[in-house]
Structure 1
Amino acid sequence: MASPDDDRSEARSILKELVVNQYQAIILGGTALASLVALNPLPLLLWLGGELVMLPLLDSGPLRRMVHRRRLGRSRKEVESRRSRVISSLGPANQKRYADMDHLCRLIEANYRTLHGISQAYLSEQRGKLDMILDGCAHRMMALERYERLLVDRSPGRIEREIEGLEEELRDTEQAERARTALERNLELKRRLLRSVAEAEDTIKALATELDSMASLLEVLHQSSISMGDPQAVSQELDTIVRQSEDSGRVVREMEALLRSDAADWSAAPLPPLPDEPIVPPLPASRRQRYGGPRQK
């Protein structure tokens, strides 16, 4: 059963698209030029009269629905193209995991299509929710792999050992003032990096848990859609998963912003030494390593 919002979506007027397009501009220019050359407004008036008669007829329900379906089709192809690029960058395990979730979404959509009295707009809305869930899963998988690589390169134990080494160097009271300032700055950044890595570990656990939960919910929805007695109930469950995906997505973005902020400070080059002061010993090469979040599409 379609909702009123679906009906309004299907009945949305396309009059603006029929009037404002390049073909209308070409015809208008041609008729205006013909009227100007002939010094007769009749061609222009005939064209305007034809427009006034034909446009309301063309802006009919069937044509509106056809245009709406074409727009949805183009939009879906663009979404699938972007998502396929994300999936191709994942590891084999996550690619298989995503393929299983995508298969479940297609089965749920197919079960929706077997119902009678469901409008095309309502089906498109549910397909849009499934696409949002798949997008969220794909980006979480990418974020999960990125954070895992981050922890491989920068383990907490290694950073703690580097912090201990810097603290040992700072105990040397014979350090030049400029060298001590650089070491203190390095120590501060190392501590911030350690906190960021610890938060990344928590984020990895949260992402893995969310992916498992979303996969389980899709399994439940698939079972419910097989004997779908209340399509609205399944739709509400989809809304719940979408909201969960959006909320956890904000957490991931905040974590990525924190890591980018730390990486920007970490990669800042130290001030060059003054001519009358000794050269500050070079900091570890690993200080220039950058840590980024998932690529944006």
Structure 2
Amino acid sequence: MSETENSAATDAKALEPKTIAMIGLGVMGGPIARHLAHAGHSLVLYNRTPARIERWQAANPDIAVAVAGNAAEAAEQADVVITCVGNDDDLAEVVLGPQGVFSTLHEGGLFIDHTTVSARIARQIAVEARDKHVLCVDAPMTGAQAGAEKGTLTLMCGGRANAVEAAKPVMSAYARRIVHIGKAGTGQATKMVNQIALAGITASLAEAFRLAQAEHLDLEKVYEAISGGAAQSWQMDNRWHTMAEDRYDFGFAIDWMRKDLGLALDEGRGLGLSFPTTALLDQLFADVQAMGGGRQDTSAILRRLPKRGLR
């Protein structure tokens, strides 16, 4: 067989439908599961709250799935396991616990984690995966819920090159950009970089918006004037108009942002770094939490800014 034929055979094998265990059916995991099914894969679902699976099935009545009673049962039937849960403790439970993924996932299986967690636990899981001869990728996401719904997420991947290459055909069902950053944990570290930058952009956009309001400027014309220049950002394009409507009941929740900034601040301290701006932003988001806005989109940081001078 020629090199070209061998490569084609490898690609065809990589694209073969697989049995995938999807663990975690929240606002990101639910759409990912749908894209995987539409790509031809068979799904085994597990969520610690069974009602979420019931809601997912009601919303996707055309998709046949198997439902597992715990993470170990889901992994036992799978070629690939994908997790998208809440935090370090949640991930440790569903992966390393007595009824976790690694108690049953077969040798040569593929494990992909999309949870935003610490680099420390990503590295710990990678060591456990290596010992069990399991391919492992930490692949936190950016692109928000809209990106998950549209299948246009960006994934920041940490892990061995062969693991990331094995994961790409699966992840391409719901991601537009897949970047292999480096060794285990580097995907999570890159997500921390992303969240620090995102928090700063969101907060400065809110301050700029509040100034436009206080000056009684036409907000539509201001947006038209500044969105085509150096100040343009995804946040401006997607949040300027919703801030004008004082609407925040969607998007990336402040609770999640504070969790992510906490991870970044902890990582920085471990490296001997100080992030005073990030620490201040974290406190401003905490103030909005105290106002009852924990589940609101991060653009609700605007609520923290005084409205003096506004009509």
Range class of TM-score, shorter chain: under 0.3
Greater share of residues in strand: 2
* TM-score relative to the length of structure 1: 0.27
* TM-score relative to the length of structure 2: 0.26
State the structure with bigger RCO (CA 8 A, min sep 6), 1 or 2: 1
Greater share of residues in helix: 1
